[in-house]
Structure 1
Amino acid sequence: MVESRNLRIGVDVGGTNTDGVIIDPERSHEQDRGIIAWHKAPTTKDPSHGIANAITTMFKSASVDPSSVASVTIGTTHFVNAVVTRDSKRLSRVAILRLSGPFSRHAPPGVDWPASLRKIIVGHYALVKGGLEIDGSLISDIKEEEILDQCKLIKEKNIRSVVVNSVFSPIDTQERQEERAAEMIKRELGDQVDVVLSKTVANLGFLERENAAILNASILSFARKTIASFQDPIKKLGLKCPVFITQNDGTILSGEAASRLPIRTFSSGPTNSMRGAAFLIGDQAKGEAVMVVDVGGTTTDVGLLLANGFPRQQAAYSELSGVRMNFSYPDVKSVGLGGGSLVRRIQDRLQVGPESVGYKLPEKALVFGGDTPTATDYIVAANSEIEIGHRGLIQGRLTEKDTKAFQEEVKTMLERIIDTMKTAPEDLSVLLVGGGAVIAPDTLKGAREVIKPQWSGVANAIGAAMARVSAVVDTVKSTEKQTSKEILAEICRAAKQRTIEAGALPDSVQIVEIEDLPLQYVSNQARFIVRAAGDFDFARSSDFADLSVTKDEDDSSTQSEPSQDAVSASSSGNEHVEEDITSDVDIEAYVPRVIKREWWISEIDLHWITIGCYILGTGGGGSPYSTMIRLRGILRSGGTVRVISPDDLKDDDRVGCGGGAGSPTVGIEKLSADEIMDAQNHLYDLFKGGRATHIIPLEIGGSNGLQGLVLGSSPNMNVPCVDGDWMGRAYPTKWQTTPVVFGEREIIFAPVAVADGNGNTLYMGSATSDLKVEQVIRAALSHMGSAVGTADAPVTGAETRRWAVEHTISLSWRIGREVARARKGNRIDNVAESIIDAVGGSEAGRVLFKGKIVGVERKLHMGHVYGEVIIEGADAPYTGKIKVPFKNENIAAIRITDGGDSETGKEKNEDVLAIVPDLISIIDAQNGEAIGTPEYRYGLLVQVLGFNASERWTSPRGIELGGPNAFGLNHLEYRPIGKFVKPTSVIDEYDAMG
């Protein structure tokens, strides 16, 4: 009998089975890894019974004294399942108060959700005064009377969960707007109402943080009930130890913390499996990344466990059940392969999955007397050493040829997904875990070794038992009086202290992740993200043992159905939300609507154009996502968006221009108000040359590529948007545009108007140069929230035909369509080649490189973020390394060789794969989406594309303004990738069909 208080219990409550282990960490170096008991049994309807059964059974089998148990840690899928299944009995309605003033009005809460989920959860919302600018100054202070008025409406609707979301709340340490608003709500509505502060749930990214906070608020009542039910059997068994819940990154939350933040447990299952697998092989995985393959009954989940012991996380955003969020989420890919997978012969090929008998395997599989051939049957037939069910029941029913074909198909499926998840060409260790791991082979291409550790079937429970403690600091700080190094040192200390406060042993705490992101167009500001982690301090167990969770008096999680007027707020008609129609479109049969040479944009068109705009942004321009949401709302509300060809402009037409200027980081947090229309209205109040008859985007790259469509839409200027722009890409400065290249006017961008959306406007009627216009706007930015809308005085139709980079909206559409085709046809591996075909084929561009990001450096200078990303090739012909220097946007793609100095930039010209003004775009190799320069991070699998610039840029004047010398690469010459191919106009192609 173990006498010391050192045992850890891990329990994983899954949808099918409840697994349990008891581990003595002091014996983890021994062959049995310190595992003194384990248990697996079907999950019970009341999970507390299954937990009690698991622990009781293990206590008896190993003669464990309850007083020797230091902790119980539980992993569960209950909360995420409530969202995935859209269970209205477990999801509460939520009211959302945005402290945002006029900002975000065009993207109301839940606007990008599946309609069925939004209907269940979003019961009320309002935009009230509040929010901060990125430098910490006020957009406006909160007004108590506004909040109290909303409390009355919330009370009338019988809503008991409230989310408070303030602009830039994660950096609000002085004004405490969310906290003050919560105090007012509690005072008015009482303690029976849950108030969730968005800043406690997720980090920067207004819409995504709010989405996570809303889901969190919706499951709070259910979470309290569930976690209390987890704790009850622990108390009844006489255990006087803390009960923890595992969270998404493989670390622990106290039961009390998990009852406040259940969303942090959503992806704990795969993470626990990965960490459990690594624990089982011990020092074999020390200091290097390992691939974990978890084979269940229905699916196989694959993730990369990094050398720091934590799973590789997804890129900037994660998605659950159609809801986009920005909290930590492991990068796990799934394939329909498991022990219960159906095995069928289709023509001359054996197909395994994706359909599965799942938990009905014991009654459906042949080896158990059923009538359905499954993967389990085939592996039993193929391997005489595997004893599952009754081998005699399959004798003569499965041929040797079929069993060999089955083994080859499983091997191919696993090798394919492992290759997708790898971040380097070298072979690495692959750990096979899960109840279905028996179907996997002992050798796999790309694996240095395939390890099937003992007790792999309960790896989830092992990972839960051995989970660590962590904390994250994500903040924006001024670099004016301190260096980034000094600031990082302070933040690292703060992250370590938070980790210790969360229960970590001080001596074990280490910094496991650091990101330093300078912010363009924001004076002396940078975003810092630091994560620390450490082992739990069991000497402090008593500090956490009494943090029990109390069930609600009314433990029913249901509330009254939402009324017809459940949603109230100022908005732009976006309340009507439908399911995404783009995923089911027949791409080959789709025909855009072109009537009398006007292209009427549909939601499908918008989806494809959005993808294309970000790719043409060459790493810059800011994500077009929130602008797409605004346009989609206009279309769904009955508004119209029209596009015409520049070829159809009359000489005396007046073509205006407008868009956003400022930092993309501001754009993800302070969502648009009406600044781009405020700028247009202010311009025409003072400009006497007549209002624009048409509008053209400033740049096609990034968010501004869609702003012309927003301005031209029927609720705004109600004029056609020209199928073209002034850049053909994104460039960092306003004077890097084709009207300046042509130089037919002394000044192009004056008069100009600027607005910040909060009532502040600026009009510049004249200027000495276009560069001066740029300088004035940049100076104004620091006093106008670092993000503004701009409006330029119109030019003539004749000038537009000469100056515009033509048909770039059409080009965006074609690029986006190719990405959609590749996704639908599971051809993402070749998406880069498909995009090249869309821009004109091998003459117009080429795939420059494919590989993994292995290094990123950034620095801020004169308002712009400079840096470079290093990419290592995985397979021939893309071997070796390249670097892509950037100044907000990508400047070049340069092969790193022994003959060049990558630090001084003195490369040989023959090492240059592509250089400005040609376009260099980096896309995510796993989904075909563009990756912006702020999103570059280690480990991302990418494909690098190069497109030839428009002939508008390849004149001597164009190369001077937009070529290597403009970015300080004076030692390199511009050599075009190929020959520019003018994009085919959608209007020209489809007009006859309309």
Structure 2
Amino acid sequence: MAVDTQKLIIGVDVGGTNTDAVLLNPAKSGSEAVISSYKATTGADVTTGIEEAIRVLLKDANVQPSQVASLMIGTTHLINAVVERDASRLSKVAVLRLTSQGYLKYTPPFIDFPTDLKNIMNGYQGTLSGGVQIDGTLIAPVNEEEVLREAEAIKERGLRSVAVLGVYSPMDKKFAQEEHVRRVLQKALGEEVDIVCSKEIAGVGVLARENATILNASIMRFAKRTIRGFKRAMRGLQLTCPLYLTSSSGQLLSADEAARFPIQIFSSGPTNSIRGAAFLSSKRDSNESRFVVDIGGTTSDVGVLLPNGFPRLAGSVAEIGGVKVNFALPQVESIGLGGGSMIHVSKDNNSNTTKITIGPESVGQALRQKALCFGGDVLTSTDIMVAAGKAEMSGTDVKVPTVDEATIAAARLKMKRMLEDHIDRMKTSPEPCQILLVGGGAFLCPSELEGVASIEVPAFANVANAVGAAVAEIGAASEAVVDMVDREKALEDVKANVIDQAVARGAREGYVRIIEEEVAGLPYMEGKFKVAVKVAGPVDYERFLDGTPSGSEAIDAALGKDEDDEVYIEKKQWEVTDAVDSKPVIDVDHVNYRPDIDSERIWNVSETDAYYLSIGCYILGCAGGGTPYGPYLQARQMLREGGKIRIVDVDDLPDDMLAVPVAAMGSPVLAIERLGGSMILDAVKDLQEHMKTSFAAVLTAEIGGANGLSPMMLSSSRALNNFTLDADLMGRAFPAFQMSSLYIGANGDINHLLPAVISSGEGTTMTISKAKDSNAVDQLLRSAVMTMGFGAGIAARPAGKKELKEYGCLRSVSLAWRLGRAVCQARARGAITTVHDDLIREFGGPQAARKVFEGKITGIEQRLYGGRSQGTLVIEKLKDHEKENEEVGSGSSGALSDEEGPEKLWIPFVNENLVVEATYPSGEKRTLATVPDLIMVLDLLTGEAVGVPEYRYGLKVFVMVAAAHPLWTSTEHALAIAGPRAFGYDIDFKPCGTYTGVKSVIDEFGPARKE
């Protein structure tokens, strides 16, 4: 049934400076749907601008409030508070962690926050007993006396926002520890204190989940004030329709949902601008991606509009205001450049030059009171453009400000470069891009930008955000973990349930469509599947026009009566600091960076080195080994506190040296949740005691994944205070103890790798001195690891210099460093699209490595191989409308072209990727690569590795293969240990290339070796 033209909808965007509103006829499309639009100044109390804008809309269109079917509001208000570091809108947060056994000890809360944001939000940090294992079993129970003591500490500090985080809390179905703590705290602190449980905010990934929870808790009080302001505006306008807020996904949230989970609307402004630009563009059917640049009063946001009309999603890692979080967001970069941005001018008398700093502070909604062109005393970006004759402001009180020509020129050049740099950071190739320019501050953008082919300003561009809000839909999502035999029925049940949820939330019955569906095996949980469904549908205006539900009543029920219900006048308070930012690498010239190799040929690891190694180790993990990000943060923290990590070449150590191989064992998911602890250190200490000796160096058993970095912390000046060797025993990551290069030379005797000590880090250790065969050791270790909470540390028999030179994978640390540096250099050049060429070069050239596929993850299947179940990643070729440039899928450096390349890939994995199976358009199937060669899946947007825990539907990736170290491929014995048949595949190994060796970082950047 077509929607009657009298059934209209209002979309509103509440920005930091302006409030935009549009009245739309939902029966039409494009600019023809816009009946009227208006731009008002955002009032200091939020309400004023909304009331003014909507009142003008209704008056101009001669529409009664009763004819409005729905009010959709999007706002950048919340994200602006984070970007601007506005302490008046961000509350200090008490962070309470439920963790025992030393987990998270070296990764304190706020560890990867920008320093200025940490200064605003860090109110208190406390630790409580608690936490669960990956399977939901107990690490330690909650101690209510501890909770009450922490409540007193919070009360003494006058804090009213609390974030509660438990190790593996998303898996905590039985004990509900976070909820238990919240109940005790709420009773002790009172209902006026906001307490947020991390499991309600995000999934597994302890630091990113904690970050998101802190942001949510910090903004809650301001979010509630903001929504109460929306409620007041509706009452003043006599609107009884429902109120929705748009989320970062472009879907709608109820007022209650938005008040409890404001972080979900943080990126709604940029999302709405992208969708609004798509709706308004004259090239709605364009088959090319375009960049959307939305310049408001406070920020400039850049996103990418895909040919399907939706935003490009962020990769496996997303950021909000410089803080890493672990839920899907549109890939949008925000900077503090808008019409209200403050401009600071300083003169260098020596060089007679003008230095300009723009933002991130903004006069925001006070533009017409504070800007020079309106009679104020603050120089803003708008003043510069008015003085330059590039912007016209409405009103009789406008005057051209007096600004000297040097300042105008310097400021305009600064704005131009800020936008160019901003756009470059979003590019995946250096090719010129097309721009859709929207927003009330669009006049700040010059007519030409470096690296930009064309700029389109669509009709109603200045209210694109409001249009995007108006065309948002109602969605719902649901997932369940089910047994293998029940998965088909479970999928249908979840579909029916989630559709009912969407209808109950206001979607039109019969018009709800499934937008995402996934049935995926769960790694490391035999026989279990995750079933997930997302849906969306148009708002049921008919139901709301009948008076059910009443928007005002619904909001009152959600928010209740509050003592702050009167008009709230905002007074911004910016945090300014000269402290070092907490971003991974600050002001590093990746092209010319040189590591610190001293006169003794000792590599003294820096923060930059650690960052490169974290990226490279994950690439070498072949999707396994767990993310090194947590160990990297621990290393960075230790380095900043004055600790040292030293790496040496095997050739530079005495002949009688002993290096102990170490690793963490278990599920790679542990590396993103159970950080820290003493399990590897305890294992080494027990091994030293058992063997009555000490070790000169530490050797990582596997360079791939978190194990590539963890041993460096062990060898640091804060632990064993010895050296890390530039070598490992795998050249990648493998899932089994016997898959060690030392075992290749052992003539099948597993005792050559023993003794080995395994430790839980919780006081339990086990020493294996002798075994009948490798299977016995493997089974014993796996059983012990499961008993120890699916993760433990291991230290094995130390190796001498002679043995390592013969059977070690030498200079693998150098290779990890080079791979990480290559990714950083590609990003610095804005050339991530061709990062595979850089990685191929570091692996040794096209004879050693190649790119085999580019596509989108479409699922994770569970298959049987060799009698056991394994996960299988499914990647499909990108459809034309999903490609972001014509080169996607084209061949270079060994990559296959669209015509000859496969259509679909299957990559079975255990902890690591094992095989690449491809299907071609002709129907032919081929095996492109197998273990022990390296099979790597990398994020198409960042160039970084995607591990098993990050595999998710819709992620765009490319697949590379590289030749394994020749120790693994030169003999049948070695292939029997780690070739395809070792994993249950009856496939003959065929090398994907020829290993060419690795150039030592110490040899390249350090002095020559003394003979």
Does the C-alpha gap of structure 1 residues 490 and 946 become closer, same or farther in structure 2, counting only changes over 3 Å?
Answer: same
Secondary structure of the structure 1 residue equivalent to 2:549: helix
Does the C-alpha gap of structure 1 residues 740 and 928 become closer, same or farther in structure 2, counting only changes over 3 Å?
Answer: same
Q: Which amino acid aligns with 1:328?
A: A
Q: Which amino acid aligns with 1:72?
A: L
The equivalent of 1:263 in structure 2 is 263
Q: Contact 1:221–1:557 (CA<8 Å) still a contact in 2? A: no
Correspondence list, 1:621-640, <5 A: 621-640=625-644
Secondary structure of the structure 1 residue equivalent to 2:477: strand
Secondary structure of the structure 2 residue equivalent to 1:890: coil
The equivalent of 1:786 in structure 2 is 790
Secondary structure of the structure 1 residue equivalent to 2:85: coil
The equivalent of 1:57 in structure 2 is 56
Does the C-alpha gap of structure 1 residues 116 and 528 become closer, same or farther in structure 2, counting only changes over 3 Å?
Answer: farther
Q: CA deviation at 1:131?
A: 2.4
Correspondence list, 1:458-473, <5 A: 458-473=463-478
Aligned mates of 1:446, 1:120 — CA distance in 2: 37
Q: CA deviation at 1:490?
A: 3.9
Does the C-alpha gap of structure 1 residues 311 and 190 become closer, same or farther in structure 2, counting only changes over 3 Å?
Answer: same
Secondary structure of the structure 2 residue equivalent to 1:952: helix
1:977 equivalent to 2:993? Answer: yes
Aligned mates of 2:788, 2:66 — CA distance in 1: 62
2:844 to 837, 840, 847: 840
Does the C-alpha gap of structure 1 residues 527 and 204 become closer, same or farther in structure 2, counting only changes over 3 Å?
Answer: farther
Q: CA deviation at 1:356?
A: 11
The equivalent of 1:601 in structure 2 is 605
1:713 equivalent to 2:713? Answer: no
Q: Which amino acid aligns with 1:542?
A: P
Does the C-alpha gap of structure 1 residues 338 and 178 become closer, same or farther in structure 2, counting only changes over 3 Å?
Answer: closer
Aligned mates of 1:955, 1:928 — CA distance in 2: 31
2:941 to 907, 920, 926: 926
Does the C-alpha gap of structure 1 residues 470 and 754 become closer, same or farther in structure 2, counting only changes over 3 Å?
Answer: farther
Q: Which amino acid aligns with 2:871?
A: V
The equivalent of 2:521 in structure 1 is 518
2:669 to 655, 665, 669: 665
Q: Contact 1:203–1:474 (CA<8 Å) still a contact in 2? A: no
Aligned mates of 1:361, 1:944 — CA distance in 2: 55
1:69 equivalent to 2:68? Answer: yes
Does the C-alpha gap of structure 1 residues 900 and 646 become closer, same or farther in structure 2, counting only changes over 3 Å?
Answer: farther
1:820 to 821, 824, 829: 824
Correspondence list, 1:309-320, <5 A: 311-320=311-320
Aligned mates of 1:680, 1:167 — CA distance in 2: 25
Aligned mates of 2:1006, 2:429 — CA distance in 1: 40
The equivalent of 1:954 in structure 2 is 969
Does the C-alpha gap of structure 1 residues 354 and 943 become closer, same or farther in structure 2, counting only changes over 3 Å?
Answer: farther
Q: CA deviation at 1:4?
A: 9.9
Aligned mates of 2:440, 2:382 — CA distance in 1: 18
Does the C-alpha gap of structure 1 residues 250 and 713 become closer, same or farther in structure 2, counting only changes over 3 Å?
Answer: same
The equivalent of 1:889 in structure 2 is 912
Aligned mates of 2:92, 2:340 — CA distance in 1: 37
Q: Contact 2:742–2:753 (CA<8 Å) still a contact in 1? A: no
Q: Contact 1:292–1:433 (CA<8 Å) still a contact in 2? A: no
Does the C-alpha gap of structure 1 residues 133 and 335 become closer, same or farther in structure 2, counting only changes over 3 Å?
Answer: closer
Does the C-alpha gap of structure 1 residues 23 and 558 become closer, same or farther in structure 2, counting only changes over 3 Å?
Answer: closer
Aligned mates of 1:189, 1:300 — CA distance in 2: 39
The normalised TM-score by structure 1 is 0.82
The equivalent of 1:963 in structure 2 is 979
Does the C-alpha gap of structure 1 residues 973 and 797 become closer, same or farther in structure 2, counting only changes over 3 Å?
Answer: closer
Aligned mates of 1:429, 1:641 — CA distance in 2: 46
Secondary structure of the structure 2 residue equivalent to 1:889: coil
1:303 equivalent to 2:310? Answer: no
Q: Contact 2:698–2:724 (CA<8 Å) still a contact in 1? A: yes
1:212 equivalent to 2:227? Answer: no
Gaps of 5+ in 1: 343-352, 378-389, 391-396, 398-408, 563-575
Aligned mates of 1:800, 1:608 — CA distance in 2: 25
Gaps of 5+ in 2: 344-355, 375-379, 393-397, 399-404, 406-416, 879-887
Q: Contact 1:725–1:805 (CA<8 Å) still a contact in 2? A: yes
The equivalent of 1:901 in structure 2 is 924
1:738 equivalent to 2:756? Answer: no
Aligned mates of 2:683, 2:479 — CA distance in 1: 33
Secondary structure of the structure 2 residue equivalent to 1:257: helix
1:545 equivalent to 2:544? Answer: no
Aligned mates of 1:213, 1:336 — CA distance in 2: 24
Q: CA deviation at 1:324?
A: 0.4
Q: CA deviation at 1:217?
A: 0.8
Correspondence list, 1:471-490, <5 A: 471-473=476-478, 477=481, 479=483, 482-490=485-493
Q: CA deviation at 1:316?
A: 2.5
2:536 to 508, 533, 537: 533
Correspondence list, 1:743-892, <5 A: 743-744=746-747, 746-747=749-750, 748-842=752-846, 845-849=848-852, 851-853=854-856, 855-859=858-862, 862=868, 864-871=870-877, 873-877=888-892, 878-880=896-898, 881-882=901-902, 883=905, 885-887=907-909, 888-891=911-914
Aligned mates of 2:666, 2:845 — CA distance in 1: 34
Correspondence list, 1:36-55, <5 A: 36-55=35-54
Does the C-alpha gap of structure 1 residues 478 and 638 become closer, same or farther in structure 2, counting only changes over 3 Å?
Answer: farther
Q: Contact 2:8–2:70 (CA<8 Å) still a contact in 1? A: yes
The equivalent of 1:384 in structure 2 is none
1:188 equivalent to 2:188? Answer: yes
1:329 equivalent to 2:291? Answer: no
Does the C-alpha gap of structure 1 residues 509 and 219 become closer, same or farther in structure 2, counting only changes over 3 Å?
Answer: same
Aligned mates of 2:383, 2:758 — CA distance in 1: 73
The equivalent of 1:385 in structure 2 is none
Q: Contact 1:641–1:712 (CA<8 Å) still a contact in 2? A: yes
Q: CA deviation at 1:703?
A: 0.7
Aligned mates of 1:366, 1:232 — CA distance in 2: 31
The equivalent of 2:346 in structure 1 is none
Q: Contact 1:335–1:354 (CA<8 Å) still a contact in 2? A: no
Does the C-alpha gap of structure 1 residues 484 and 8 become closer, same or farther in structure 2, counting only changes over 3 Å?
Answer: same
The equivalent of 2:14 in structure 1 is 13
Does the C-alpha gap of structure 1 residues 411 and 13 become closer, same or farther in structure 2, counting only changes over 3 Å?
Answer: closer
Once the two structures are superposed, what CA deviation does each residue of 1:411-460 show, in whole Å capped at 9, x if it has no partner?
A: 999999998499xx9x9999775568899999xx999x999764344221
Q: Which amino acid aligns with 1:95?
A: A
Q: CA deviation at 1:32?
A: 6.4
Q: Report which stretch shifted further, 736-745 or 703-712.
A: 736-745
Q: CA deviation at 1:950?
A: 2.1
Q: Contact 1:620–1:730 (CA<8 Å) still a contact in 2? A: yes
Q: CA deviation at 1:199?
A: 1.9
The normalised TM-score by structure 2 is 0.81
Q: Which amino acid aligns with 2:837?
A: E
Once the two structures are superposed, what CA deviation does each residue of 1:748-767 show, in whole Å capped at 9, x if it has no partner?
A: 44332323344444333321
Aligned mates of 1:270, 1:369 — CA distance in 2: 24
The equivalent of 2:377 in structure 1 is none
Once the two structures are superposed, what CA deviation does each residue of 1:722-772 show, in whole Å capped at 9, x if it has no partner?
A: 110000111232322211222257124433232334444433332112232
Q: Which amino acid aligns with 1:645?
A: D
Q: CA deviation at 1:972?
A: 4.7
Q: Report which stretch shifted further, 483-492 or 92-101.
A: 483-492
Q: Contact 1:592–1:605 (CA<8 Å) still a contact in 2? A: no
Q: CA deviation at 1:831?
A: 2.7
Q: Contact 2:482–2:530 (CA<8 Å) still a contact in 1? A: no
Equivalenced residue count is 926
Q: CA deviation at 1:259?
A: 2.2
Q: Contact 2:11–2:468 (CA<8 Å) still a contact in 1? A: yes
